[in-house]
Amino acid sequence: MIEKLRIKNFKSHKDTSIALGHLTVLCGQNGVGKSSLIQALLLLRQTNLKNKLNEILDLNSPLCFIGKTKDALYLYVDKVRGDEISIILGDNDQEYSWAFDTSKDSSFLTRLNDINDSDGYNTLSLFTNDFQYISAARSADYENDDYEVQIQRQLSIKKGKGELTAQYLYTFGKVTKVNDNLLHPSEPDTYLLSQTTAWEREISKGVNIKPKDVGGGYEIKYSFINSNFGETEEFSSENVGFGLSYSLPIIVAILSATPGSLLLIENPEAHLHPYGQSKLAELMCLAGQAGVQIIVETHSDHIINGILVQCKKYEKSQFGIDKKNLKIYSFDRDETEHATVSTEVIVDAGGKLQNRPSSFFDQIGKDIRALI
């Protein structure tokens, strides 16, 4: 598991260091460096996929697209302290570091430090098949790629869109068993498709998930259980609401993950009712407690509160997540240096927050006070 991350001179990250937990939550206003932190990890992975990480950092394709050096470099870099972009990862055993030259405006950065500084990095889940990236730009325009699904076990190739989800569910839905700790209490069938359906029913009551092979391509159809008429006809993704298709790759990624896997998830709350957001938070917590590492970016107080509820539940029943396995960070920007500032928000007993920043999901309280 990746336990430490340090980023220097990348976008708004002048010098950012955070400790990572089984579940790490990134919060804060727009444009303060949350997505950039995830992008730093994606850049390492996409360059390694091209077998070039010992030589360069590829700034574009397929997971994220930064542009050129000037787009990647921290705006007010201090050349006295060094103007290289560096990314450092740490696990329980050692640190893995990469430093890259920024002197030329190019679509790639040349590596500066010795390759021994990152020796053994390819055993980290960031670089293996035990990885999924689900971005905020999720799509129900499904594609197929036999190698990426069957061998690499990926739900996405391009920008974390989840475009392989239909093929993945069709291929593994009835042959892959879900971790016992993630099983939905209402569904006795332990296979991926049934469990995905059970968790999606927390998003929309009575829904059925039906991955289909349609002449070499794949799609997801939805039907619903009606108490009077039985099962409805099948509907396309476009005709059942965005919430189902937006949550689907996240649920599939979590349920198919094994302990030690790494999931990067952006805005899981998109298009979801607050109850659905809370249940998705529950599933992420169960996965984190089971040993899956998740880094999630969110703007939703329902996701945060749902996670805190799971911390409190764990104290009473060992169901949910132990707060020691959770890290929450509030990101802000130092306006004098236009640099990211990260503050760890400590979870105390009972799911209460110990050092809640003034701007940390306090808008509901402000609005209610204004109405009163």
Q: How far apart are CA 4 and CA 89, in angstroms?
A: 6
Say which residue, 67 or 81, is predicted with more confidence.
67
Asked whether residue 358 carries a pLDDT value surpassing 90, the answer given is no
Residue 316 and residue 296 in one domain: yes
Which pLDDT does position 135 carry in this prediction?
98
What amino acid occupies position 211?
A: P
CB distance 213 to 230 below 8 Å: no
Mean pLDDT of the chain: 96
Asked whether residue 80 carries a pLDDT value surpassing 70, the answer given is no
Q: What is the DSSP letter of 235?
A: B
Asked whether residue 241 carries a pLDDT value surpassing 90, the answer given is no
- The residue among 333, 329, 339 whose CA lies nearest residue 360 is 329
Asked whether residue 323 carries a pLDDT value surpassing 70, the answer given is yes
Which pLDDT does position 287 carry in this prediction?
98
Asked whether residue 79 carries a pLDDT value surpassing 80, the answer given is no
pLDDT in tens, 102-131: 999 999 999 999 999 999 999 999 999 999
**For residue 359, what pLDDT band results from cuts at 50, 70 and 90?**
confident
Whether 150 is covered by a domain: the verdict is yes
Residue 122 and residue 149 in one domain: no
Residue 269 and residue 359 in one domain: yes
Distance of CA 362 to the CA centre of its chain: 24
- For the purposes of burial, counting CB atoms within 10 Å of the CB of 241, is it exposed (0-12), middle (13-18) or buried (19 or more)? middle
Per DSSP, what are the bridge partners of residue 338?
none
Length of the chain: 372
Residue 317 and residue 235 in one domain: no
Interhelix angle 301-317/274-289, rounded to 10 degrees, is 50
**What's the whole-number mean pLDDT along residues 168-182?**
98
Residue 269 and residue 160 in one domain: no
Q: Which of 190, 218, 246 is the last residue of a domain?
A: 246
Whether 349 is covered by a domain: the verdict is yes
Which pLDDT does position 161 carry in this prediction?
98
**What's the whole-number mean pLDDT along residues 36-50?**
98
Residue 198 and residue 272 in one domain: no
Q: Which of 215, 246, 277 is the last residue of a domain?
A: 246
Residue 203 and residue 295 in one domain: no
pLDDT in tens, 195-237: 999 999 999 999 999 999 999 899 999 999 987 888 999 999 9
Which pLDDT does position 269 carry in this prediction?
98
Asked whether residue 24 carries a pLDDT value surpassing 70, the answer given is yes
Residue 15 and residue 99 in one domain: yes
pLDDT in tens, 283-297: 999 999 999 999 999
The 10 Å Cβ neighbour count of residue 337 is 14
Residue 73 and residue 112 in one domain: yes
Residues 6 or more apart whose Cβ sits within 8 Å of residue 146 = none
Total domains in the chain come to 2
CB distance 35 to 12 below 8 Å: no
Asked whether residue 369 carries a pLDDT value surpassing 90, the answer given is no
Query: Structure tokens of 94?
Result: 């050692």
Q: What is the DSSP letter of 157?
A: S
Residue 73 and residue 104 in one domain: yes
**What's the whole-number mean pLDDT along residues 343-368?**
87
CATH number at residue 119: 3.40.50
**For residue 27, what pLDDT band results from cuts at 50, 70 and 90?**
very high
Domain that holds residue 190: 140-246
Whether 124 is covered by a domain: the verdict is yes
**For residue 351, what pLDDT band results from cuts at 50, 70 and 90?**
very high
Asked whether residue 354 carries a pLDDT value surpassing 70, the answer given is yes
**For residue 363, what pLDDT band results from cuts at 50, 70 and 90?**
confident
Residue 78 and residue 119 in one domain: yes
Whether 252 is covered by a domain: the verdict is no
Query: Structure tokens of 97?
Result: 């570091």
Task: Scan for tokens 């700790």, then name that residue.
Answer: 181
Alpha carbons within 13 A on the beta-carbon side of 190: 7
Per DSSP, what are the bridge partners of residue 90?
4, 95
Q: What does residue 134 show for φ and ψ, rounded to 5 degrees?
A: -120, 110
Residue 366 and residue 263 in one domain: yes
Whether 251 is covered by a domain: the verdict is no
**What's the whole-number mean pLDDT along residues 298-312?**
97
Q: Which of 246, 269, 297 is the last residue of a domain?
A: 246
Per DSSP, what are the bridge partners of residue 60?
65
pLDDT in tens, 272-284: 999 999 999 999 9
What residue ranges in the chain does DSSP mark as E strands?
4-10, 13-19, 23-28, 56-58, 85-90, 95-100, 108-110, 131-134, 207-214, 217-226, 230-231, 262-266, 293-297, 326-334, 339-345
